[in-house]
Every structure is written in C-alpha cells, then in structure tokens.
Homo-oligomer: A and B are copies of this chain.
Amino acid sequence: MRVAVAGTFGPLHDGHRALLRAALELGDDGVVVALTSDELAGAERTRSVPPYDRRADDVRAEIADMDEWGRDVSVRRLADEHGIATEDPSIDALVVSPETVPEVETINDVRRERGMDPIRAVVVPYVYADDGERISSTRIVRGEIDEHGNVRK
C-alpha cells in the first residue's frame, strides 16, 4: 500500500510520531509525507511555526529513527490543503488523526470526479498529555507541555 500523511509537523510531538509510525508500518509500497508550505502552515494559525526546512529536517530525522522497515519515503511540499492526495493517483491511503477524517471524504469526491480511485483513511488515535488533554504543537509553543506530553511546571 502506498501511504500519504499530511501535516505541519512542527514543533514535532508524540502525536505526529504516532502518525508517522502508522505511515511507515503500512507503507510497504512507499510513504509520502506532505509537509505544509510556510504559507499554508501560517494561513490559519496565529502561533509561530518553524520554517519549512527545519520541519522537513526534523521529520526526516524522526523517520530515520523509527523506520525499521526501510520504506521508500519522500517529503513533499504541500501548497494547498487537499493537494497531493487529490492529485497523485498512486496513493492508496491517507494516515490521519480523528479530526481530519471528514476531509478524506472531500478528497475522495474530488478523486472520483477526476477519474481516480478513492483512497482509504487510516485513523490514528489521539495521543494525550499527562493532564488528559490532547498533545498539540500549539500547547508546546504556549509552554504548557513538552513534546511528549509532560506538563511543564
């Protein structure tokens, strides 16, 4: 199965790691990491986001660390929200967090219109911080938690 996973991935945290691990585990025909461009990453956010090259380096380092399967991985710049998944017929599945599932139906509508096969979604459970709230980059930037979900005093 050829698998894509999309996101901003910065600052990187254990929720991202769960997504990347699922993509690697399932992507026996290859893994595409669709990493948001700085413009797309900044479009709906007020918090600061590390620059693309920094995020790409961090994702590559993380993958090198966890890829026990030796997958064929490429990191590609995602310039619009449903790009890559609606454009690349070779992708079979998209690894997502629960909140992103409805977007896969939108993506599949576009793919069907374009004569492409619809894709599967692999939904990875949320990862929670010590305080029972979800881990997120926003919470890390705010200084509430670290990348593993430990609450900062």
8 Å CB contacts to B: which residues of A61-108? 93, 98, 101, 104-105, 108
**Chain A: interface residue total (CB-CB under 8 A):** 18
Q: Say if the beta carbon of A22 comes within 8 Å of chain B.
A: yes
Give the one of A22, A98, A122, A123 with max B CB within 10 A.
A123
Copies of this protein chain in the complex = 2
Instruction: Decide if A1 is an interface residue (CB 8 Å cutoff).
Output: yes
Question: Can you report 12 residue pairs joining A to B where beta carbons are below 8 Å apart?
Answer: A26-B26, A98-B101, A101-B101, A101-B123, A108-B125, A118-B125, A120-B122, A120-B123, A120-B124, A120-B125, A121-B123, A122-B122
In the complex, which residue of chain B has the Cβ closest to the Cβ of A118? B125
**CA–CA, A108 to B125, complex, Å?**
8
Question: What are the interface flags for A110-152 relative to B under an 8 Å C-beta threshold, 1 for contact and 0 otherwise?
Answer: 0000000011111111000000000000000000000000000
CB distance from A33 to the nearest CB of B (A): 18
A112 CB, min distance to chain B CBs, angstroms: 9
Q: A98-B105, A105-B98 are in contact. Are A120 and B1 (CB under 8 A)?
A: no
Asked if A123 and B104 make an inter-chain contact with CB atoms under 8 angstroms apart, the answer reads: yes
